[in-house]
Amino acid sequence: MIEKARALIYKRHSGQTRKGKKDPFTNHLEDVFEIARSLTEDEVVLASAYLHDIVEDTDTTIEEIREMFGKEVADFVASETEDKRAELDPEKTWKIRKEEQLYHLKNNRNKDLYIIALSDKLANTNEMVKDYREMGDKLWERFNQKDPKEIAWYYNSMADIFRLELGDTKAFKELKNNIDFLFNK
């Protein structure tokens, strides 16, 4: 299942890059997978970690994921998929999308879901720390939300949720250190 998920992300995310960079998008997915693998050996969770952005960022549907990987993987991927509201400006929908994600995580307390989400947020903040060290506050210009205070609210809120189930893990502690470095100065 894991190798099938990996093959699919390389096919469907082919040619995509990270926002404002030339790095292949699949680098992020590999990072998320490796972080998740440090937290679990469950192949459903690990396949879902690889696939967490596939519906949001490609033309792949939840139904296709369900057919290829089963209901549990499809449910995890759906939980990680934002409603981007394609007809609206992403800058205008940023806050509502993040509020929806936080609400969903708070109300669906599930350690496996938290592993996937924490792995994604840690991979994101690892990249942000590296880039911030190179470019300083220009980093924020690449995002839909350009106000670091708003981004700080989001990541601190995520950390508060993850603390319940994963607060004693190395990955959580790394996430918290990244958040403190980027935002809680």
- For the question of residue 57 being annotated catalytic, the response is yes
Q: Provide the token pair at 137.
A: 């506050």
What is the length of the chain? 185
**Cross-strand partners of 24:** 17
Active site residue 34: no
Structure tokens at 131: 């880039």
* Angstrom distance (rounded) from CA 96 to CA 132: 26
State the catalytic residue, choosing from 57, 150, 165, 174.
57
Dist. CA 140–CA 132, nearest whole Å:
9
Identity at 136, one-letter amino acid code: G
Active-site position among 56, 67, 147, 160: 56
CA torsion 44-25-87-158 (nearest 10°) is 60
- Return the active site residues: 56-57
